Amino acid sequence: MKNIISIFKKHVRGTCQIFMARMLRTCFGAVLALAFLLVSPMASPAYTVDTTASPSSLTGLWWNQNESGWGVSLTQQYDVFFVAMYVYDSAGNPTWYVASNCAVSGSGCQGSLYKVTGGSMPTTTWNGTNPATNVGTITLTFSDNNTGTMAYTLNGINGSKAITRQVWRTVPPVVVTTTKDQTLQLVGFWSIYTADKNTLLGEYWLGSTPIYQGTNGWYIKGVTNIGVQAGFNTSTSTYYIIDMSESGFVWEFQFATAPAIEISGCRYRYPVGSSSKGSCLQFWGRHS
């Protein structure tokens, strides 16, 4: 009888050990999966049109660089765009289409499209225009402040064009003779990406006036970015953009090209109450 009891105990103990091992493997796998999800990089948030400024950074001339000869003018005032397309009809005649109320939603806007005809030459007496004719709709979708897509329905025909901001002149190079001049090189609109230039990290519009004098040099502030300042740190000989809308968020960089169009450096996040920079995230940026 003792032998039977001993065998039974061993069997139960072995069965329990197998069961516990299987449970541990299952739990360990679940923990690994959860850890992977927690540390995996999250997808970049979708671009959202800023409706707090007028005019916005999207205002300007846009085109498709592979189809020189037509374009679209975008003027944004808060939550609405006025869109003017200067294109050609099927006979090759210059034609104007406008969307006077392209309402902003998310990453773009949508509105009715009208054909505009009539009018007079500037050298003759103005005789008015013909009534605008509704010919379809237009939808603009932006991936950042410099690239987007223009989809439309025109007289029952659907189409889509890739568009980019048309740049024919960049900010003239600043003649650098003082530390104030070094800071003024940062004036304008900057798009900042990961070092591989694939992921947009941030966009900053830096104004030229007023310019402030700090302990370690001159600095300027953001035009539409509240809580942003930028300048040249004379103690470290480093350019910087501080985004105080984020907790301890700072970009430190040097110019990668001459003239001062491209930048590269490190993005740091200072923990609250700490003087430690934390780790460096390499980035690349461009002036537009």
Residue spans per domain, the chain? 60-165, 179-287
Highest mean pLDDT among 108-112, 185-189, 254-258: 108-112
Confidence bin at 130 (pLDDT 50/70/90)? confident
User: For the whole prediction, is pTM greater than 0.75?
Assistant: no
- Would the pLDDT of 9 be above 50? no
- Would the pLDDT of 117 be above 70? yes
Contacting residues for 172 by C-beta, under 8 A, at least 6 apart? none
pLDDT at 40: 40
Contacting residues for 200 by C-beta, under 8 A, at least 6 apart? 44, 47, 144, 191, 192, 193
H/E stretch holding 183 reads helix 179-184
Long-range contacts, stretch 148-157, CB < 8 angstroms, 24+ apart: 148/62, 148/108, 150/62, 150/72, 152/113, 153/113, 154/97, 154/113
User: Dihedral angle at the C-alpha atoms of 55, 163, 168, 254, nearest 10 degrees?
Assistant: 80
- Would the pLDDT of 131 be above 70? yes
**AA identity, residue 272:** V
pLDDT at 17: 46
Distance CA 16, CA 118 (A): 90
Confidence bin at 66 (pLDDT 50/70/90)? very high
Confidence bin at 57 (pLDDT 50/70/90)? confident
| Arithmetic mean of pLDDT, 50-64 | 87
Distance CA 229, CA 241 (A): 6
pLDDT at 118: 86
pLDDT at 258: 64
pLDDT over 90 percentage in the chain: 46
Q: What is the 8-class DSSP label of residue 121?
A: -
Confidence bin at 103 (pLDDT 50/70/90)? very high
Q: What is the mean pLDDT of the chain?
A: 81
